[in-house]
Structure 1
Amino acid sequence: MNNALIFDPELLQRYDLSGPRYTSYPTAVQFHEGFGEEAYREAIAASNTAARPLSLYVHLPFCGVVCYYCACNKIITANRKRASPYLADLHREIELQSALFTPGREVRQLHWGGGTPTFISDEEMSALMNKLRGHFTFLDNDEGDYSIEIDPREVTPAKIAHLRQLGFNRMSFGVQDFDPVVQKAVNRIQTVKETFDAVDAARANGFKSINIDLIYGLPFQTVDSFAVTLEKILELSPDRLSVFNYAHMPHLFKVQKQMDADTLPSPAVKLAILQYVIEKLTAEGYVYIGMDHFAKPDDELALAQEHGTLYRNFQGYSTHAGCDLVAMGITSIGMVDDTYSQNVKSLEEYHERVSAGKLPVYRGVKLTEDDKLRRAVITELICHFSVDMAAMGHAWNIDFSTYFAKELAQLQDMAADGLINLSDGRIQVQPRGRLLIRNVCMVFDAYLKNEESKKRFSRVI
């Protein structure tokens, strides 16, 4: 596919609205407590009939130190023993969940997220992985995508070697920024050496994919300071890079109030940083996948996009569109059959439910046919920047132009601005529109009815 990008500051500023990141459609805003354990069990039964392979997500919420920008579901504590009772409950949930899925369904994908997954000890990690392997069917030929999020401050070469022995073959390293002034402002002090040592250890132990996370829009950042960070990161030659736009939403995430909003870069500076990042990474040969993600041309994400098989879920872009996602641990979100579901948020309620032999699902949503159709359109747009209207209509037994007449009328303004092309029976996102793909997707979102609902989402740029 054509991966060209055109950076148009005037258009980017004009279209810089708030909107979903579309790790799901409908988004989590539409989850409701009318969907509970019984509905989730019904979804598993339907999933067993389809017998799709599985993707497992395990949430380990503990962090030793809080990062002020963080919008993740986490528990801040210096007491490592606090993880023990939670892990016992997590083991119990693994037993409860696995008993409902037909044995033998392959686990093609695994992800441990947080929090900081390596907050727990080597022994606890071994016990958790053994529990998962004892209750689900893992691939033992290193062909599965088994990944873990890493804080370089929390690992040693020995711990990384241990993770490889457990079967992990992908790592995602949080860096955000190397500038000491920025690090102090966000309460994340992390040296270049810690990061380089961790990545070197991962490579030495045969991890086949390295991702590094950066954030632009943090306090005191400038184009020049971020350029220094990016140059250092490129020395590591990561397979993938995620360069996220910091969303300052203290009304939703109270910890962000610890940062002085007056020190955040202006929208113009943020745009300049983004432009520098895009130009630098594309010049270095990285492919812009979309939504802040870059990958080397031979990376599986880039190849999946080229072949039209890229997918997007709660972990971001994925090559495993055909899996049911089973999520375990507090706050975790799964996707089983035509449903989304989320576990309870507190340790106390989680313990109460799993101790009683109950699944900890407390809310979710069952997709309607319209939801599934719109999800298919949004997925094509956000993954491949194109929709073949005739093919989509045939697949869903609709006349696309009639069904989406209102949406196609709305797209005319974007077409006039050069964001998209509507000729030849396709919606084709143009180089000017690729950075604004969330805006294009929002046209097909039936739930964005008022400005109040948009306040829950970050700005698109």
Structure 2
Amino acid sequence: MIQNRNEILETVERYNVAGPRYTSYPTAVQFTESFDRETLDRALEQRGEKVQDLSLYFHIPFCFSLCWYCGCTKIITRDQDRGDVYLDYLAKEINLVKQTIHPESTVRQVHFGGGTPTFLTPVQLRRLGALINNGFNIHEDVEFSVEIDPRRCGEEHIIALSEIGCNRASLGVQDTNPDVQEAIHRIQPFSITRQVTELLRKHGISEINFDLIYGLPRQSTSTFNQTIDDVIRLDPDRLAVYSYAHLPALMPAQKLLSEDELPSPREKLEMMMAAVERFPEMGYRFIGMDHFAKEEDELSIALDDGTLQRNFQGYSTHSGLEMIAFGMSGISQGDDLYYQNEKDLAQYYEDLDEGRLPVKKTLFLSEDDKIRRDVIMQIMCQATIRFETFREKTGFHFKEYFSAEIEKLQPMEAEGFLLVMDDQLIIREKGRLFLRNIAMTFDWHLSQKRGHTNYSKTV
């Protein structure tokens, strides 16, 4: 049980500020379109000189209909023939990328995201699977996951996914309440979610994740508790419980939502606290700031052995993988370099027609970026920073390197969010609800751009 609930709720207004989710550090807003193509090419050539483990992400941008809350890069269409054209260009991109990775590198993770990956027909899914399985060295224990909109996923889709090696599925549920579904323009009877879950297990895709969102229009703590009751009956392995990010200036579709129906920051925090209290009672560990997993799930194992990480898909296993993204808007993450593909589909196609990787933005990391990245990822993934380990890895003393940041943490320490000791920094139970705020203290780029509004609120 969460202690001092009322006290925590009273802190909301003080800490409900705009801030990153830290799926990376530095964050994507630091990427720049002003980069030298030759410098990028040299960096990618160097990537190809070493054998490494890889994570591959494939962005499928198409959706049949618009969900008004959604902030993903997507294209609304009902023309599935566009999937064939898109796969033609993914094949071109795969061929170019293969020239920048060592032929003995091994793929440990594959993820289909979107958009709606199951917009693709079963035939198209099999073709994409063949491109991947024939183009890369796939590890026999690869984690192969796909995001699924249950409204657009039939049994033939699931059979195709199973045939190409998929073994984990993330189902977009968001909320099971009909009024909330109406408010966000995503009608999804719970019977459909149940049916797709059962079909996945029937065809051997037994590792199931559900995605929920709190803070949506017409939601209340009561309705969100009912959603928790509904989804837990289907016995998922993991649950992602995301905070709704209302940014209509950046995401025009959100202007269709009624802001009068949005819950208050206090109500949002009450919903998250309900999840934090209830899911552990049902056998799910609280992983980081917004994920829950069974004890035997790989996320729980990664939390225990220190390999839990965050990337642009959220919490993940297998830290240290080079992540390479394919498709429009996809973001690749290496140790020294991040880059993002073109968001404009026509330009993405044009670049590939001209035989060049469709890179729109890049970010080359400094040594300070890498140091701060490790610290922020420890906050988000381990809730502990051991100073001796930091010194052994960097050569610096934590309290000296981050003396200004430790001073800034004092109000949070007084709030009971964390404890700065002689040998470590520990985030306490209360602080786990405010991980983004704690991490922001160590964000050098954020400190240089005060008042930045491209982020969602932290609560």
2:271 matches 1:273? yes
Q: Does the 8 Å contact 1:40/1:361 carry over to 2?
A: no
Listed one character per residue, the Cα deviations across residues 362-385 of structure 1 (whole Å, up to 9, x for unaligned) are 111000000000001111111000
Residue 448 of structure 1: SS of its match in structure 2? helix
**Counterpart check, 1:40 vs 2:40:** yes
Secondary structure of the corresponding residue to residue 347 of structure 2: helix
The answer to whether 1:192 aligns with 2:197 is no
Which residue is equivalent to 1:10? 10
TM-score, scaled to structure 1:
0.96
Q: Of the candidates 148, 151, 160, which is equivalent to residue 150 of structure 1?
A: 148
Cα deviation digits, residues 386-407 of structure 1 (max 9, x gap): 1011210221111222111111
Alignment partner of 1:73 is 2:64: no
How do 1:124-143 residues align onto structure 2 when only pairs under 5 Å count?
A: 124-139=124-139, 141=140, 143=141
Q: Which letter does structure 2 place at the counterpart of 1:25?
A: Y
| Deviation of 1:271 (Å) | 2.1
Distance (Å, rounded) in 1 between the aligned partners of 2:32 and 2:41:
16
2:435 to 425, 434, 437: 437
Identity across matched positions, percent: 41
Q: Deviations over 1:72-131 (max 9, x none)?
A: 000011222222222211111111111221112110000010000010111111111111
Give CA-to-partner distance per residue, 1:249-306, whole Å, 9 cap, x none. Answer: 1011000001111111122322222222222112112111022111111111111111
Q: Are residues 1:218 and 2:207 paired?
A: no
Partner SS state of residue 430, structure 2: coil
Q: Which moved more, 1:12-21 or 1:350-359?
A: 12-21
Matched position secondary structure for 2:385: strand
1:291 to 279, 289, 292: 289
- Alignment match, 1:428: 426
Counterpart residue identity of residue 216, structure 1: Y
1:444 CA displacement: 0.5
TM-score by length of 2: 0.96
The answer on whether the counterparts of 2:174 and 2:211 sit within 8 Å (CA) in structure 1 is yes
Partner residue in 2 for 1:107: 107
Deviation of 1:4 (Å) = 7.7
Q: Report the CA distance shift for 1:151/1:286 in structure 2 as closer, same or farther (over 3 A).
A: same
Q: How many residues are paired up?
A: 457
**Equivalent residue runs for 1:179-258 within 5 Å:** 179-258=177-256
CA contact (8 A) 2:47 2:100 kept: no
Stretch moving more, 249-258 or 442-451: 442-451
Matching residue of 1:414: 412
Q: Secondary structure at the match of 1:287?
A: strand
Seen in structure 2, the aligned counterparts of structure 1 residues 186 and 248 have a Cα distance that, compared at 3 Å, is: same
What pairs up with 1:23-62 in 2 under 5 angstroms?
A: 23-35=23-35, 37-62=37-62
Q: SS of the counterpart of 1:334?
A: strand
Measure the CA separation in 1 of the matches of 2:423 and 2:94. 47
Per the alignment, residue 329 of structure 2 pairs with 331
Q: 2:3 and 2:46 mapped to 1: Cα distance?
A: 42
Q: Distance in 1 between matches of 2:309 and 2:408?
A: 25
Tell me the equivalent position of 2:86: 86
In structure 1, give the amino acid aligned to 2:264.
S
Shift of 1:31: 0.2
| Structure 2: runs of 5 or more not aligned | none
Are the counterparts in 2 of residues 46 and 337 from structure 1 also a CA contact under 8 Å? no
Q: CA deviation at 1:12?
A: 3.5
Aligned-residue CA RMSD (Å): 1.6
> Matched residues in 1 for 2:163 and 2:243: separation?
34
In 2: Cα distance, 1:196 partner to 1:374 partner: 42
Tell me the SS of whatever aligns to 1:39: helix
**C-alpha offsets along residues 121-166 of structure 1, whole Å, 9 cap, x if unaligned?**
1111111111122221112x3x111100000011112321221111
- Which among 382, 385, 396 is matched to residue 384 of structure 1? 382
Once the two structures are superposed, the pairs formed by residues 344-359 of structure 1 within 5 Å of their partners are 344-359=342-357
Q: Secondary structure at the match of 2:42?
A: helix
Deviation at 1:6, TM superposition (A): 6.6
Question: Are the counterparts in 1 of residues 176 and 189 from structure 2 also a CA contact under 8 Å?
Answer: yes
Q: Which residue of 2 aligns with 1:97?
A: 97
State the secondary structure of the residue aligned to 1:362: strand
Q: CA deviation at 1:9?
A: 1.2
CA distance in structure 2 between the aligned counterparts of 1:6 and 1:354, rounded to whole angstroms: 56
Could you tell me how far 1:318 is from its partner in structure 2? 1.4
CA contact (8 A) 1:53 1:324 kept: yes
Q: How far does residue 36 in structure 1 lie from its aligned partner after superposition?
A: 5.4
| Structure of greater relative contact order (alpha carbons < 8 Å, 6+ residues apart) | 1
Q: Which moved more, 1:425-434 or 1:31-40?
A: 31-40
Cα distance, 1:52–1:81 mapped onto 2, change above 3 Å: same
Q: What is the rounded CA distance, in whole Å, between the counterparts of 1:274 and 1:4 in structure 2?
A: 11
Task: Give the direction of change, closer, same or farther, for the CA distance of 1:54–1:6 in structure 2 (3 Å limit).
Answer: farther
Q: What is the SS of the residue equivalent to 1:454?
A: coil
Task: List per-residue Cα deviations over 1:224-266 (Å, max 9, x = no partner).
Answer: 2222221110001111001111111101100000111111112
* Alpha-carbon distance in structure 1 between the residues aligned to 2:3 and 2:232: 20
Matched, 1:397 2:395: yes
Q: CA deviation at 1:332?
A: 0.4
**Secondary structure of the corresponding residue to residue 20 of structure 1:** coil
Q: Would the aligned equivalents of 2:129 and 2:164 in 1 still touch at CA under 8 Å?
A: yes
Aligned mates of 1:353, 1:167 — CA distance in 2 = 30
| Structure 2 contact 55–323 (Cα < 8 Å) conserved | yes
Query: In structure 1, what is the Cα distance between the partners aligned to 2:39 and 2:115?
Result: 28
- Determine the C-alpha separation between the residues in 2 that align with 1:349 and 1:438: 34
CA distance in 2, matches of 1:36, 1:64: 38
